[in-house]
């Protein structure tokens, strides 16, 4: 999976965090990327 904030490849089993948005699960490389996404998910989802 690809981190929607930084574009890094993330192994879902080792992701630092996940978020649900519009019925889809997003995986993050770090808590910082998850925090940015959660603050404004529409900015990162195309």
Alpha-carbon Rg for the chain, nearest whole angstrom, is: 9
CA–CA gap between residue 39 and residue 34 (Å, rounded): 9
Position 31 scores a pLDDT of 98
DSSP 42: H
CA–CA gap between residue 25 and residue 38 (Å, rounded): 12
CA–CA gap between residue 14 and residue 36 (Å, rounded): 19
Position 27 scores a pLDDT of 98
> What digits encode the pLDDT tens for the residues 1-46?
999 999 999 999 999 999 999 999 999 999 999 999 999 999 999 7
Position 46 scores a pLDDT of 79
């Amino acid at each position: 999976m690809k981190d929607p904030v930084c574009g890094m490849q993330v192994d879902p089993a080792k992701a630092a965090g996940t978020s649900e948005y519009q019925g889809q699960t997003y995986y993050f490389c770090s808590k910082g990327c998850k925090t940015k996404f959660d603050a404004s998910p529409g900015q990162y989802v195309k």
